[in-house]
Amino acid sequence: MSRERPRRSDDALSGARAVIDLDALAHNLRKIRTLAPNARIMAVVKADGYGHGALRVAQALVGADALGVARVAEGMALRRAGINKPIVVLEGFSSSEELAEVRAHRLESVLHHPSQMEMLEHAPVGEAISTWLKLDTGMHRLGFPPAAYGEMMTRLADCAAVAAPVRLITHLASADEQDNPQTLKQLECFQAISAQHPGELSIANSAGILAWPQAHADWLRPGIMLYGVSPFADSTGGEYGLRPVMDFSTRLIAINRLSKGDAVGYGGRWICPENMAVGVAAVGYGDGYPRHAVSGTPVLVNGARVPLVGRVSMDMISLDLRTQATARVGDPVLLWGRELPVEEVARAAHTIPYELTCKLTNRVERIERSMVNASRQDAPLR
């Protein structure tokens, strides 16, 4: 077993890290613009920017017309950190206290439920709130049924707490399945209502933007594609000219020379088929690496693909190093990123890339990279 020290002193920590490429974020936003040059873009940065850091993403996306978050608290945090763009709370407020925070922080709110209408109608006198009325066109998650549209618009028009004009929003349930007829049904439903609606419209998430140009409307709501990742199960972001934003990596912390028949890891689920080297990398589900990644899930050691073997543990994974005879302790291990699509790792772990990037834990050091703004290059952040 080799016990060398890590090779680079400036880079001596062995733990998992995520390098966030701010130039790739800006590139992806520009790419979205070219797909729908006349639409405005609400960049979705909920769930801490899909694990990339909501504030850093918001700061990097200077070209976005608005930001989208799920919760009031997420919007408040961005305002307090000095973000001045419009911020839309996609789930809206759910108490009168939250409604007061929406106002105090100049957030915009989606309205999807009668209880929110009542809170607005009973709100104290104050600044008018910008709102987006959500229609349920078939997803059956959030939104008013189309039949309620007329009544809701009348109530909103009569409500002093609501700023005019109200925008109309809906969400597609199956836009990632290009042959699923549900999307066309939803679009027809939305069209019928929006024909009576003077205000701006928003329909498309990433899958809608890429696969359903007729869903572009006035406001796009890209999330996953901003991060360079495909919303579809069978492709990668690179196929659409997107650049992966996150490079998730760690280092080898041990290399073991094992014998044929030796069992590796918890439960001894993987048995060495011959005498061989098995590497141990410092990453596990405690960092957000998926515990369900199967033996054979690809990992890059010094840029070359090797298969994961045995169970993922909290802090470590084991790697089949038979093709990497020169690998040494301290060598870099890429879990996903530019050279290894997160889409591929997600498939091997029976999940979707959204979940993988969202689930990176606080233990993972986030590092920003930007060639355009060199002062921020490789600045460690906490």
Catalytic residues: 46, 266
Residue with smaller CB distance to ligand PLP, 134 or 311: 134
CB of 215: closest distance to ligand PLP in angstroms?
Answer: 12
Read off the tokens for 32. 């979205």
Residue with smaller CB distance to ligand PLP, 207 or 282: 207
CB of 110: closest distance to ligand PLP in angstroms?
Answer: 8
CB of 288: closest distance to ligand PLP in angstroms?
Answer: 18
Burial code (b: 16+ CB inside 10 Å, e: under 16) for 32-42 equals bbebbeebbbb
CB of 69: closest distance to ligand PLP in angstroms?
Answer: 9
Beta carbons of 81 and 60 less than 8 angstroms apart? no
Beta carbons of 247 and 23 less than 8 angstroms apart? no
CB of 317: closest distance to ligand PLP in angstroms?
Answer: 27
Beta carbons of 228 and 221 less than 8 angstroms apart? no
Query: Which residues of this chain interact with ligand PLP, rule CB under 6 A?
Result: 44, 46, 90, 171, 205-207, 221-225, 231
32 membership: H or E segment, kind and range: helix 22-35
Residue with smaller CB distance to ligand PLP, 214 or 377: 214
Q: How far is CA 192 from CA 188, 196, 208, in A?
A: 6, 8, 19
Question: What is the Cα–Cα distance from 61 to 84, expressed in whole angstroms?
Answer: 12
Beta carbons of 90 and 108 less than 8 angstroms apart? no
Burial, 260: exposed, middle or buried (Cβ in 10 Å; 0-12, 13-18, 19+)?
exposed
CB of 204: closest distance to ligand PLP in angstroms?
Answer: 8
Question: What is the Cα–Cα distance from 160 to 145, expressed in whole angstroms?
Answer: 24
Cβ count within 10 A of residue 178: 13
Residue with smaller CB distance to ligand PLP, 215 or 306: 215
Residue with smaller CB distance to ligand PLP, 187 or 207: 207
Residue with smaller CB distance to ligand PLP, 242 or 280: 242
Question: What is the Cα–Cα distance from 191 to 199, expressed in whole angstroms?
Answer: 13
Position of minimal CB gap to ligand PLP: 223
Beta carbons of 255 and 326 less than 8 angstroms apart? no
Q: If you ran DSSP here, which 8-state letter would residue 135 be given?
A: B
